[in-house]
Chains A and B, each alone.
Chain A
Amino acid sequence: MNQAYAEAFERFTKNGGGAGPAELLGLRREAFEHFARTGFPTTKDEEWRFTPVAPITGREWRLSAEAKTSLVTPADIAPFRFGPPAWCTLVFVDGRFEAGLSHQPKLPRGLSVEPLSQALEADPALLSKVTGTSFSALNAAFVKEGVSIRVSAGVELADPIHILSVASKAADGASLNTRIVLHVERGARAQLVESYAGLFAAASFTNAVTQVTVEAGAWVEHSRIQRESESAYHIGLTQVDQARDSHYRSFTLAMGGAIARHDLRARLGDENVETLLYGLYLGRREQLIDNHTAIFHDHPNCRSWEVYKGILDDASHAVFNGKVFVTPEAQKTDAKQTNRNLLLSDRAKVDTKPQLEIFADDVKCTHGATVGRLDEIAHFYLQSRGVPREAAQQLLTYAFAAEVMAEVTSAPVRERLDGLVRERLGVSS
């Protein structure tokens, strides 16, 4: 299989896929060589123990660049928009930017949004800032399209920016490599909504990388919504680097994909950093949804707070792994991690592994994980109040999910998420 990728990579570079300065091509080659050396993970790798990716790694994917132009209309996109139409929305179809479907209002001062290719041309080193998996290395080798967003120091953006990636029918059998770079300068404030959706039941393979840099005193809210088609494959990596006094909060909703994996890594690079990670995953049918998070406390006086919740129905399978590393320097760390899972069916399955690695003594670190079903007493209570059992079940399930969604600060985003989750769980609003 690696041979096929090697050939694809040679073709890609020859076709000008690696256009740009020589340095960029060198970095792509480096990334590719890294991938060639490590190869795809298997369930023998601890990090992928419960996530067999053979359906992804065992087949040959077309590079998105070779896909035919798709016919996607604004009406197709409409259901996937977020918030008021005035928001800046950048739409990618099958990994390619579609200006016609996007909405690019006049950008406020201090906000720059440019295509990834342009950003890479100016600063090729951007490509090597992410240290990740062999999938992210593959992304670095092949990625052409994406967005680079930069918010200047002290600028406070009022509205979120929405990056929407959709897979059309033409994406069937194609791998879609996209990359988002968000850089929020000193004291600035920004919100990013990143979403992935499928228009058809296409077996596409999204390999996405997002890199977020939060400078000193900056504030970022990042919502990631993954609702690809249930025949698609999704592998995502988000890397967050935070500087002193910064605040980063993330909410991830994962409900799509046949196999969906998201790695979220946050490096708390200086003192007094706050990192909040919230997640919700909804599995049904045969879906496999995997969330891996890693929080690196390298400096004193930082706080991280993590809550991930999952609702698993049918024969779905969820994997959660949350790591918290506290180095000897990171005294006065306050870290809390929670993972709660609700199993709705006999065939659903959860593998959770909350993991703490602590080397400093004056810290407060806790984690907790639970797996179970809905509380019978709560059921009984609702039924005794005249709520039918089925409705009670839906209500309680929704309440379980609503708790994490409530942490999204942007009201339009929160409401939209709420609608999505209600729809999925079959709860009327």
Chain B
Amino acid sequence: MSSPVESLVNREYKWGFVTDIEADTVPKGLSEEIVRLISAKKQEPEFLLEWRLKAYRGWLKMTEPHWPNVTYPPIDYQDLIYYSAPRTQKPLGSLDEVDPKLLEAYTKLGIPLTEQKLLAGVAVDAIFDSVSVGTSYKKQLGAMGIIFCSFSEAVREHPELVRKYLGSVVPTSDNFFAALNSAVFSDGSFVYVPKGVRCPMDLSTYFRINAQNTGQFERTLIIADEGASVSYLEGCTAPKRDENQLHAAVVELVALDGASIKYSTVQNWYAGDEEGKGGIYNFVTKRGKAARGAKISWTQVETGSAITWKYPSVILQGDDSVGEFYSVAVVNGRQQADTGTKMIHIGRNTRSTIVSKGISAGRGNNSYRGQVKVLPKAAGARNYTQCDSMLIGNRCGAHTFPYIDVQNPTASVEHEASTSKIGEDQIFYLKQRGLNTENAISIIVNGFCKEVFKELPMEFAVEAQKLLGISLEGSVG
């Protein structure tokens, strides 16, 4: 190992700036009053408040899970601010009225709303400290009957849909962090694609945690009605701070008969410094439910966060439904990732594919944890799992914990895993062809991740490749 890879890995977190915006925050701590306050601030209907309170009361009885292969100091849940919103005078009429400082922040992040509107043809719903600040392309989508708005707006405009589907995939009692999220979630994105409609463009949200000491609890709900299809992109960054910040999001996908949802994430939260100081705790619950003939596909590129703890899952409930999970998880410095997926085969002839690529460098620890469950009625179920790990240096770790439960003899489940390193010979070969070490490594790593990157929408794939290069900077050489 010599320096190029090391310098490659150690480049500074470029998105670590802080935007100074007046924010409307609630006092620290969590109590029933805070839950009520959040709900009141958001002028929510009664059912939602009841739902939050139910979640909060359930949460009080739960204990934080410690089974993931990660370690972190205990979190003081009373020392967090559960709601923070940019202070604005009046409701925003259009994107042009958005605080220019905010727009500037987004520009720094590389997603200028206005520009992207023109160039990329991507409809963006940007979340700034939990409150959605502007939604572009709304009109064009609206004409097709597609609803794409902030969660709060959906609560106001489409309470019947929210009421019907909220918690239908991830119930409030699901797990500790999901319960916490259900109690205090501040905003998020909402998508509804009506029957038979193919959403003509990729929908996108850019999450960003700005305020200090705030937990970010967004809630995303995507519903694809019968025969509909939608592709959704999610990207995340956070300013650089010394304290750890908690991010406990919930994403629910509902794919009705014959529908298809593709959910892509590029997660680049601040990972903390080399000594593991600061960084985001990314404890996320993501799950989709696929009805007959529906398809749900998760693609994730996880390069950030001090700790990542998430398992985007698919409940293959309807016959012939399909679930997919493509993941690249990179850990460097002192990052820890415990991530993977769950594929629950309930319907007949359900199929699932899992491709997971873990890259560990520095002192990072990367765990793949997955479950493939075939229930007795899932005749003809089929799963293929491949999980590969690459280690760079010998102070990092790669772990695999696949659980395979099969209760039907006609099911076929295959799991393969391998671990390898970047071979000297591979680097030598590329150098001999005129590439420098850094590029050689980048090519090898990108090749290793290719199966996942090819699942990402184009703009995202480019970003992911860049991010990968950045997060590995300095790790090999």
Contact = CB atoms under 8 A, between A and B. Distances in A.
A, B assembled together: yes
Interface residues of A, number: 36
Contact of A356 (B67, B399, B404): B399
Interface residues of B, number: 35
B401 A349 contact: no
B36 to A, nearest CB: 36
A363 B418 CA distance: 10
Interface in B398-412: 398-412
A358 B419 contact: yes
Contact of B396 (A350, A354, A361, A362): A361
Interface in B413-464: 413-421
Contacts of A66: none
B397 interface: yes
Interface in A351-392: 351-373
A344 interface: yes
Contact of B405 (A350, A356, A363, A367): A350
B391 A369 contact: no
Given A328-B394, A352-B404, A372 B389 contact: no
Nearest to A375: B412
A346 B418 contact: no
A291 B370 CA distance: 20
A46 interface: yes
B391 A361 contact: yes
B413 A370 contact: yes
Contact of A366 (B392, B403, B405, B416): B416
B376 interface: yes
Contacts of A360: 391, 394
Contacts of B399: 355-358
B406 A354 contact: no
A395 interface: no
B14 interface: no
B406 A343 contact: yes
Contacts of B396: 359, 361
Contacts of B391: 358, 360-361, 363
Given A46-B67, A356-B398, A358-B391, A343 B409 contact: yes
B414 A368 contact: yes
Nearest to B392: A361
Interface string B369-399: 0000010100000000000010111111111
Contacts of B403: 351-353
A365 B419 contact: yes
B402 A354 contact: yes
For B389, B391, B396, B409, which residue has the most chain A Cβ atoms within 10 angstroms? Answer: B409
A331 interface: yes
Contacts of B376: 346-347
B408 A346 contact: yes
Nearest to A337: B417
13 contacts: A344-B409, A346-B409, A351-B405, A355-B401, A357-B398, A358-B399, A359-B394, A361-B396, A363-B419, A365-B419, A368-B415, A371-B413, A373-B412
Nearest 6 A/B pairs, CB to CB: A343-B409, A361-B391, A372-B412, A371-B406, A365-B419, A369-B415
Given A351-B405, A366-B418, 5 more contacts: A355-B402, A357-B399, A363-B391, A364-B420, A367-B416
